[in-house]
Amino acid sequence: MGELESTRQYMKPLELFERKGLVTVCAPMVRYSKLAFRTLVRKYGCDICFTPMIITDSFLQSIQARHSDFTTSKEDRPLVVQFAASKGEDWARATKIIAPFCDGVDLNCGCPQRWAMAEGYGACLIHKPELVADMIHQTRNTVTDPDFTVSIKIRIHKDYKHTVDFARQMESAGASFISVHGRTQEQRGDPVCLDAIRDIKSALKIPVVANGDIRSMDDAYQIQKITGVNGVMAARGMLENPAMYAGHKTTPLECVKDWVNIALTTGTNFACFHHHLIYMMDKSLSRAERRYFNILGSTSGVLAYLTEKYMMEFFVLFI
C-alpha cells in the first residue's frame, strides 16, 4: 500500500484548517485522483488530496484489492482516504488498516449513482443520520491519534434545513470536518446552493469545505466570501487545470510537462495518462487538433504529437 513514514514536513488537515485562510482540496474522483495526479496537483498549491472512493467490502476481503485501490508515497501527504461503506464496523476496520498510511478517512455520503445507492452507499446516507452518526462514532474510536480526521462528504437535501440538522448531528458524533457538495442527489449541472453551504457553516464549529462550481481561485475566494467556509474542493476544475490553485487561469505548458514526467516515471497506464492530457489541453487545442489528439492510441504517439506541437526536447527523452 505504500511507505509508512514521510520525511517531508507537512501540516495535517486540522492544522491546515486552523492556520490557513483558505485550504485547497482536490476532490475524490474515480479513476483520476490517484497517486500520479495527486503528486502533480501538490506541485501547484493543493493543500489536501483525497483518494478515489474505495469500496470497503473489496478492500477488507482482498489484499490484492487493497494494493490495486490504494498506492501512496512518502511525499503524498496530507492525504485523506475516502471510503464507500454502509456499516460502521466495515468502515472502522478499513480505517484501522489504512490509518498508518494517511492523515484521515472520509465517508462518501454524496455519490448520486444508482448502483452506489442500491448498495447503501453514497447520497442515500444523508437520509440515515443515525446510521452515519454511529459509523462516525465507531470509526473515530478506532484511531487514537487526535489529529487523524474522520470526515464525511455530503450532498444537500431538497430542503437544505434538513442538511443543517444532519450536519449538526455528524458534528456531535465526532466528525472532524464536513465537505458539502451544494447540489441534491438529483441535480447535475444546476448551480450549487451557496445559501445551504453558508447555513451549514454558520451552524457548525468544525471546518466546512465547499464543493461544486469551483474552476478558478477567483471562484474559490468568491465562494468563501459568500459562505465563510474554511476550504474549497474542486474536481472537474482540477482536471481541466491542475495548476488552478497556483492561480493559473488555464493549464500552463510547464504543468503538462510535469504530468508527462510524473505519469511516465510512476508507470501510469496509457488510458489515464491520455485522459488527463485531454482534459488539461482542451482549451489550448483547436477543434481539429482535439479531434486528432483524442484518438491517439499509444504513449509514443502522444509524445510525438507533443514534441512536434511544442518543439520541446523534453518529450523526445521519453519516446
Active site residues: 111
Strand (E) positions, 144-259? Answer: 149-155, 178-181, 208-211, 231-234
AA identity, residue 166: F
Residue 76 has a CB neighbour count (10 Å cut-off) of 21
Contact between 243 and 252 under an 8 Å Cβ cutoff? The reply is yes
β-partners of residue 191 are none
Contact between 190 and 144 under an 8 Å Cβ cutoff? The reply is no
Name the DSSP letter for residue 159: S
List Cα–Cα distances, 291 to 9, 258, 286, 294, 295, in angstroms.
Answer: 43, 23, 9, 5, 7
Q: Is the dihedral of CA 205, 206, 211, 217 positive or negative?
A: positive
Closest CA to 81 of 110, 55, 45, 58: 55
Q: How far apart are the first and last CA of the chain?
A: 30
Residue 188's contacts (CB-CB under 8 Å, 6 or more residues apart) are none
